[in-house]
Chain A
Amino acid sequence: MTIQSFKEANTAREDSRDIGFWSTFIHGKAWKAGRYPLLSILAFLYLVPVIVLIMTSFKTQIQIMSRAPSWIFMPTLGNYQNVLMEQGFLRYLINSLIVGSVATFFTLIIGGFASYALVRFNFFGRGTISFSTLLLRMIPPAVLVVPIYVLWTFFHLADTRLGLIIVYIGFNLPFTIWVLISFISDIPIELEEAAVVDGCGPWKIFFQIILPLIKPGLAAAAIFTFRIAWNEFLLALVLTNRVTRTLPVATTIYLTDIGVEWGNITAMGTLVALPAILFTFLAARQLIAGLTAGAVKT
């Protein structure tokens, strides 16, 4: 019996006995034919909030305030002009970029060292360290915000980019270690043993063998670390001033006591969200690796 005919027989048998709502539905013709249009509609509806954000950013105040939302309109760049011409924008953008990239770089290096030691070295306190790293991941930022504000003021780290960078490295380390541990465990240890025989020291092995092999893990961890630094609001709000502010904090300037400047705030929101949206489509695979890390063994 060929595989094809076996499959057909199997399907026929399945069809003949498989009754009940779920079976009829999932094997039915309607679902097979209808799932693509259905999924497309679902995906579109899902993105409507994001589409509304982007559309609103191109509308005038009068168009925004109208009761019936207009889907077809003359786009205006006025809001973007307001936001980009605003004195601080460039500075906030640069702050976000510096804080994000420096924090990501150091998180990866420091996290990489620690994960390597936790996977490959046997030392006193290893279990405690890996357990408490996981525990630290659970602490909500709101618990830390007041003491960090007090301490950072004391150490003259408040209102500096360095202060924010240190916080973000600390907040991202547990996740990064968690992701990298799973990637390092997958490397066959024989590679390192051979390197030891050839006379390589631990640092050389780490930089020349381990790091190149865990590139996918580093990419996933980098995206998530940068994303946290780029999006984070609470600590950035408390730890920065007019000069060192990052983009999410700057966005909330348009929420005033008199009301919300919808045109400007949606333009700003679009600018903040744009890199995230682009990244999602460019690096979907790494994102999924990061999201499912530790929860699902693949």
Chain B
Amino acid sequence: MAKQQGLFKGITPYLFVAPALIVLAFTCLYPVIKGFELSFFDWKLGTPIESRKFVGWENFIWAWNDPALFNSIKVTIIFAISAVSVELCLGLILALLMEKGIKGIALFRTVFIVPIMIAPVVVGLIWRYLFDANFGLINYIAQLVGFEPKVWLGTPGLALPAVIVTDIWQWTPFMFILFLAGLQSLPTSPVEAAQVDGATTWQVIHLVKLPLLAPVIWVAIILRMIDAFRSLEVMYILTFGGPGRETEVLSLNIYKTAFNSQRLGLSAVNAIFLLVFIMLFSLAFLAIARPALSKK
């Protein structure tokens, strides 16, 4: 097959990929390596590079005994798992309801993408206003229905759920759109065959459609989990990690260690933890999802 042999040989392919490789090496690979190097130094932000001190594994030992690091790992996991699982369920239900026979679905679908397109900074400030203790819409509605107004973003136990709700608002449509596209591209014959055999609509959904949709569901979960692990803007605006360290996800911890506590070396160590954590997670997830994905 021509595709396998390739149209051109020699140096040409390398010329085509070289610009991308150079940029990626300079913006992703080199910084990661530099990050490893930084993690062995004690260096205060804003001081010249000569003033940094080699400290060996000291930063790693400090980080390992640092409750703040393990707290942010915990917050990151709780945030990612709760947000993504709610988004998954809501997105799936909505997609199954609107799968077919709805005229004007394109318009509804468009409306649902708006939150995805808006800058995370703006999403953060919208919800900071909605959750405001004194004049936010959420407390106003709560009072109308007879609940006590709450200091949502300043109370331990309420701030993290508030951050999760914001994420659910912004990202459920992503799941919905993926699943809708997935359902619409399913082969029709298995569904028809099941119907002819007398399966109920519910049986068709959970015995035929969901198994066929499994690859899309896994890809959606993986993509959203990776996104959830990297999000920090919304927390930055909503709570800046507070109250205490209640909503301080690992990404925010890295930022604050470097640019507030000014400890570049320690921040680099925390970044390595995040990197290793994401790699392990992705590998584990791919291992679990492999049977479903390989069917694709």
Contact = CB atoms under 8 A, between A and B. Distances in A.
Nearest to B21: A129
Given A47-B114, A147-B34, A147-B268, A142 B129 contact: no
B127 interface: yes
Nearest to A275: B117
Interface string A166-196: 1101110110010000000000010011001
Contacts of B92: none
Interface stretch (B57-65, B81-89, B156-164, B196-204): B196-204
A91 interface: no
A146 B271 contact: yes
A121 B6 contact: yes
A49 interface: yes
Which size bracket describes the interface of A in this complex? 35 or more
Nearest to B43: A150
Interface in B1-55: 2-9, 12-14, 16-17, 19-21, 23-24, 26-32, 34-35, 38, 49
B147 interface: no
A67 B140 contact: yes
A194 B109 CA distance: 41
Contacts of A177: 20
Interface string A238-252: 100000000010011
- Would you call the interface of chain A mostly helix, strand, loop, or mixed? helix
B254 A145 contact: yes
B8 A121 contact: yes
A12 interface: no
A117 B119 contact: no
B201 A296 contact: no
Contacts of A67: 134-135, 140
Contacts of B220: 295
B151 interface: no
A23 B223 CA distance: 32
B70 to A, nearest CB: 17
B13 A121 contact: yes
Contacts of B104: 36
Interface residues of B, number: 102
B255 A145 contact: yes
B47 to A, nearest CB: 12
Nearest to A230: B119
B177 interface: yes
Interface string B91-122: 00000011000101010111111111111111
Contacts of B279: 138
Contact of A35 (B102, B121, B134): B102
B32 A147 contact: yes
B268 A277 contact: no
Interface string A216-248: 000000000001001101100010000000001
A111 B185 CA distance: 28
Given A65-B134, A121-B13, A296-B216, A143 B117 contact: no
Interface in B123-141: 125-130, 134-135, 137, 140
Nearest to A247: B119
A150 B48 CA distance: 10
A141 interface: yes
A35 B17 CA distance: 50
B182 interface: yes
Nearest to B37: A147
B254 A116 contact: no
B265 to A, nearest CB: 9
Identify which of A68, A260, A262, A296 gathers the most chain B CB atoms within 10 Å of its CB.
A296
Contacts of A23: 200-202
Nearest to A50: B114
Contact of A20 (B38, B200, B223, B264): B200
Interface in B176-231: 177-178, 181-182, 184-185, 195, 198, 200-202, 205, 216, 219-220, 223, 226, 229-230
14 contacts: A23-B201, A48-B137, A114-B21, A140-B274, A142-B252, A142-B274, A146-B38, A146-B268, A148-B31, A189-B7, A193-B7, A276-B114, A284-B106, A291-B174
Interface of A: 14, 17-23, 26-27, 35-36, 39, 43, 46-50, 52-53, 56, 64-69, 109-111, 113-114, 116-123, 126, 129, 133, 136-151, 154, 166-167, 169-171, 173-174, 177, 189, 192-193, 196, 202, 205-206, 227, 230-231, 233-234, 238, 248, 251-252, 255, 260, 262, 265-266, 269, 272-273, 276-277, 279-281, 284, 287-288, 291-292, 294-298
Given A277-B118, A281-B110, 20 more contacts: A20-B202, A43-B111, A47-B114, A53-B122, A114-B17, A136-B29, A146-B264, A147-B268, A202-B7, A202-B12, A233-B233, A234-B232, A260-B128, A280-B110, A280-B113, A284-B110, A288-B177, A291-B116, A291-B174, A298-B185
Q: What are the 7 A-B residue pairs with the smallest beta carbon separation, nearest first? A: A170-B27, A122-B6, A142-B251, A117-B16, A140-B230, A231-B119, A121-B13
